[in-house]
């Protein structure tokens, strides 16, 4: 089990491992208000769909401690911090339901801790379910960071890789750099190295070539929002991995807890896609790369159609060849 602790709750403040400076610096941010947490989410000090939901829940505990009158305003501030990962809204709504049934700051704290702990338990379950789909000697490719850093622990897609490695099933992992924030090169590589899992980094643009020259059994990714028909929003570049995987006969697995499903979206067309500032592409750590004044299109998520997905692994079970009926059967009342 990983010992990385990206989200640490301390009664009157929240400490967040600053993921912008990993792996060469380890520092924690201290959040003392919901606004501090919202800023940390927006600035990507904490990132990954489940992790931002957990952080937001603790943000509401900080708001409740400051006075229950400010609770709904804090919900609005946190909800606006990032648009695509529905886990954020899911966690806020769960906290709102607790508040509506009379929870005070102490009971809200218990609810946030439960959200955090349940996420870890769900990841361990998904790890088992996903690992069971892999052959012995599996060669897999993953994208972005979906590990302990992105969740309450163990990880979603990386959790499946961890569980499969513990079972002796993993021969080789490839992980993409994941431009422009380099979650793969900085964070996934760090987690894989700590666990001693055999892994090699590839440039994002090398994935189709890799599938052409080596057998990749499964591409395994996380999700930020899964629509009612199984269409899946995840880190930009996931869609092109799914297209390349289908062309090369590699299987494609999405791993996400039930809180990542949004049955209010009939299809991926309704999922809001976050666009971030052009300078994330035109500059690198404050240094200009592109010509001064050059524009950029910087969507940070994309939608993979359900038809390109072979399996969705959730803590409630596995859906193969996902469609609306199967998602509904698994999620039921959500």
Nearest to 66 by CA among 105, 113, 10: 105
Beta-bridge mates of residue 199: 173
* 53 binds ligand MRU per the rule CB under 6 A: no
Dihedral sign from CA coordinates of 317, 170, 221, 145: positive
Nearer to ligand MRU, 235 or 251 (CB): 235
Residue 238 beta carbon to ligand MRU: minimum distance, rounded to whole angstroms: 7
Catalytic residue among 18, 119, 204, 224: 224
DSSP 305-327: -GGG-SEEEETTEEEES--HHHH
Tell me how far apart the alpha carbons of residues 228 and 273 are, in angstroms, rounded to a whole number: 17
* 176 binds ligand MRU per the rule CB under 6 A: no
**Cβ-proximal residues to 326 (8 Å cutoff; 6+ apart), any chain:** 230, 319
Tell me how far apart the alpha carbons of residues 10 and 300 are, in angstroms, rounded to a whole number: 32
Query: Please, what is the end-to-end C-alpha distance for the chain in angstroms?
Result: 29
Tell me how far apart the alpha carbons of residues 319 and 230 are, in angstroms, rounded to a whole number: 9
Residue 222 beta carbon to ligand MRU: minimum distance, rounded to whole angstroms: 3
- For residues 314 to 333, the per-residue mask of contacts with ligand MRU, x marking binding by CB under 6 A and - elsewhere, is --------------------
Nearer to ligand MRU, 109 or 302 (CB): 302
Nearest to 203 by CA among 178, 238, 180: 178
Residue 224 is among the residues annotated as catalytic for this protein = yes
Choosing from 31, 33, 34, 47, the residue that interacts with ligand MRU (CB under 6 A) is 47
* 49 binds ligand MRU per the rule CB under 6 A: yes
* 122 binds ligand MRU per the rule CB under 6 A: no
Choosing from 89, 99, 162, 235, the residue that interacts with ligand MRU (CB under 6 A) is 235
* 175 binds ligand MRU per the rule CB under 6 A: no
Dihedral sign from CA coordinates of 49, 54, 59, 63: positive
Give the interface segment with ligand MRU, choosing from 95-103, 108-116, 199-207, 221-229 (CB under 6 A). Answer: 221-229
* 144 binds ligand MRU per the rule CB under 6 A: yes
Choosing from 81, 183, 229, 304, the residue that interacts with ligand MRU (CB under 6 A) is 183
Catalytic residue positions, numbered: 224
Summarize as ranges the residues that interact with ligand MRU (CB under 6 A). Answer: 47-50, 85, 144, 146, 150-151, 156, 183, 222-224, 234-235, 300
């Amino acid at each position: 089990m990983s010992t990385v602790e990206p989200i640490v709750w301390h009664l009157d403040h929240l400490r967040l491992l600053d993921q912008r400076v990993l792996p060469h610096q380890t520092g924690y941010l201290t959040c003392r208000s919901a606004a501090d947490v919202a800023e940390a989410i927006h600035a990507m000090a904490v990132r990954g769909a489940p992790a931002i939901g957990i952080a937001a829940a603790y943000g509401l505990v900080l708001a409740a401690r400051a006075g229950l009158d400010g609770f709904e305003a804090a919900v609005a501030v946190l909800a606006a911090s990032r648009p695509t990962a529905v886990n954020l809204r899911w966690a806020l709504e769960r906290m709102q339901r607790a508040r509506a049934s009379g929870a005070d700051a102490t009971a809200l704290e218990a609810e946030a801790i439960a959200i955090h702990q349940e996420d870890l338990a769900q990841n361990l379950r998904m790890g088992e379910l996903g690992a069971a789909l892999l052959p012995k000697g599996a060669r897999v490719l993953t994208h972005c960071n979906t590990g302990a850093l992105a969740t309450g622990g163990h990880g979603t897609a990386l959790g499946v890789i961890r569980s499969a490695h513990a079972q002796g099933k993993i021969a080789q992992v490839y992980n993409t750099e994941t431009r422009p924030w380099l979650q793969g090169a900085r964070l996934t590589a760090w987690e894989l190295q700590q666990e001693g899992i055999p892994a090699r980094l590839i440039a994002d643009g090398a994935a189709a070539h890799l599938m052409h020259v080596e057998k990749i059994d499964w591409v395994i990714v996380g999700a930020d929002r899964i629509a009612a028909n199984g269409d899946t929003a995840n880190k930009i570049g996931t869609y092109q991995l799914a297209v390349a995987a289908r062309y090369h006969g590699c299987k494609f697995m999405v791993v996400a807890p039930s809180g990542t499903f949004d049955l209010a979206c009939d299809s991926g067309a309704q999922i809001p896609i976050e666009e971030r500032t052009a300078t994330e592409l035109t500059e690198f750590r404050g240094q200009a790369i592109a010509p001064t004044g050059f524009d950029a299109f910087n969507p940070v998520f994309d939608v993979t159609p359900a038809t390109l997905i072979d399996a969705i692994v959730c803590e409630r079970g596995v859906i193969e060849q996902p469609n609306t009926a199967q998602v509904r059967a698994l999620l039921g009342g959500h």
